[in-house]
């Protein structure tokens, strides 16, 4: 099982009246085929922008994205179109991402027609019906419209469309956050089953740490455009090392009313992502910050096997020298 996706020093800056907004700033990671990288962080940290830049829905300011060894960021339009068959996205709001004038069949078959995969109408219909069955939609809904469905079934339509042309990699941009809790579980279980069946690779973007824990192989934590901690799921949830990750995890509600958990409440103001000053972006809210934290931005370094942290004082938390 080799590396399918590699992101190297990826940056995305937006021009704003006061300067450059650093939405994604020097992010690097790898994902192995068949695995899921969960990306978590509070709103505005750059999670969704990262997913869009990887797929070139936004053009990168700098850095590169390698998909199966091919540099996506340097492809021309024709090359990019050919690679898009293997890289898809599931958006947060299923209703907003569906054309209300199209039937279910027209929505699912659109990528099939765009990429001219099947030569006959009979083959297209058979593939659409196969996809509907795959995601749990009855074929009697073939000619129904999006407004006739609830949120869960709409998201199943979006999943079917994403799977239509047999992708290998899917960016899941908060795909269940707009759904009721019971429906969230159904969609998550569907995505896990499809991943096993089709050997899919996911980036799963969410602010819900419980959801990310359920589906992810590895977890990356973002803060103001930067990746500040990344590790296998078990290591992140059992032994978080960055103070921001510790605070995030302490906010997860417990189902045990007698459980005693220390809450880490963050104080201070967010650093502006527009023309950010030198130093750690979390330093203004960190109770462990020292003088160097305000002047030197820490690099993301491996402090334990497969456990990467960007913090000047992490050796004190791990006991390493």
Question: Which residues, including other chains, have CB under 8 Å from residue 255's CB and lie 6 or more apart?
Answer: none
From CA 131, how far away is CA 126, in angstroms rounded? 9
Tell me how far the alpha carbon of residue 21 is from its chain's centroid: 20
Residue 53 to residue 56: CA distance in whole angstroms: 5
Q: Is residue 226 within 8 Å of 27, Cβ to Cβ?
A: yes
Radius of gyration, alpha carbons of the chain: 21
Measured in degrees and rounded to the nearest 5, phi and psi for residue 251 equal: -90, -5
Domain spans in the chain, listed from the N-terminal domain onward = 3-86+167-320, 98-159
Percent of residues in the chain assigned helix, strand, coil, to nearest 5: 35, 25, 40
Taking the C-alpha atoms of residue 302 and residue 211, their distance in angstroms, rounded to an integer, is 25
The three-class DSSP label of residue 157 is helix
Q: How far is CA 183 from the centre of its chain?
A: 20
Rounded to whole angstroms, the Cα distance separating 3 from 31 reads 6
Q: What are the DSSP E strand ranges found in 137-292?
A: 169-173, 201-205, 218-223, 226-232
Fold of 3-86+167-320: Rossmann fold (3.40.50)
Give the pLDDT score at 122. Answer: 95
Query: What residues of the chain score a pLDDT lower than 50?
Result: 321
Calpha distance 40→222 (Å, rounded) = 6
pLDDT in tens, 63-76: 999 999 999 999 99
Task: Please state the pTM of the whole predicted model.
Answer: 0.92
CB 37 within 8 A of CB 306: no
Residues ≥6 apart with Cβ < 8 Å to 20: 13, 14, 274, 275
pLDDT at res. 321: 47
C-beta neighbour count of 140 within 10 angstroms: 8
């Amino acid at each position: 099982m080799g590396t399918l996706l590699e992101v190297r020093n990826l940056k995305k800056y937006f021009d704003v009246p006061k300067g450059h907004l650093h939405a994604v700033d020097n992010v690097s990671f790898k994902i192995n085929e068949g695995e899921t990288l969960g990306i978590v962080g509070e709103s505005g940290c750059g999670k969704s922008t990262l997913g869009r830049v990887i797929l070139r829905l936004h053009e990168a300011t700098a850095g590169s994205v390698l998909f199966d060894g091919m540099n996506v960021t340097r492809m021309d339009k024709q090359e990019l179109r050919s690679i898009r068959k293997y890289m898809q996205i599931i958006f947060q709001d299923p209703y907003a991402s569906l054309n209300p004038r199209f039937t279910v069949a027209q929505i699912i078959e659109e990528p099939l027609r765009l990429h001219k995969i099947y030569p006959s109408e009979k083959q297209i219909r058979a593939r659409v019906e196969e996809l509907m069955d795959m995601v749990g939609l009855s074929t009697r809904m073939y000619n129904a419209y999006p407004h006739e469905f609830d949120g869960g079934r709409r998201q199943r339509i979006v999943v079917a469309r994403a799977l239509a042309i047999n992708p290998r990699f899917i960016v899941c941009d908060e795909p269940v956050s707009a759904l009721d809790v019971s429906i969230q579980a159904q969609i998550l279980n569907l995505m896990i089953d499809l991943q096993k069946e089709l050997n899919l690779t996911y980036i799963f973007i969410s602010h819900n740490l419980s959801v990310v824990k359920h589906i992810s192989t590895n977890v990356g934590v973002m803060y103001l455009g930067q990746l500040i901690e990344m590790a296998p799921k078990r290591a992140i949830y059992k032994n978080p090392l960055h103070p921001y990750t510790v605070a995030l995890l302490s906010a997860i509600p417990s189902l045990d009313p007698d459980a005693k958990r220390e809450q880490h409440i963050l104080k201070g103001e967010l650093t502006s992502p527009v023309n950010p000053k030198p130093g750690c972006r979390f330093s203004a809210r960190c109770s462990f910050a020292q003088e160097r934290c305000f002047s030197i931005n820490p690099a993301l370094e491996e402090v334990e096997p497969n456990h990467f942290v960007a913090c000047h004082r992490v050796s004190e938390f791990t006991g390493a020298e």
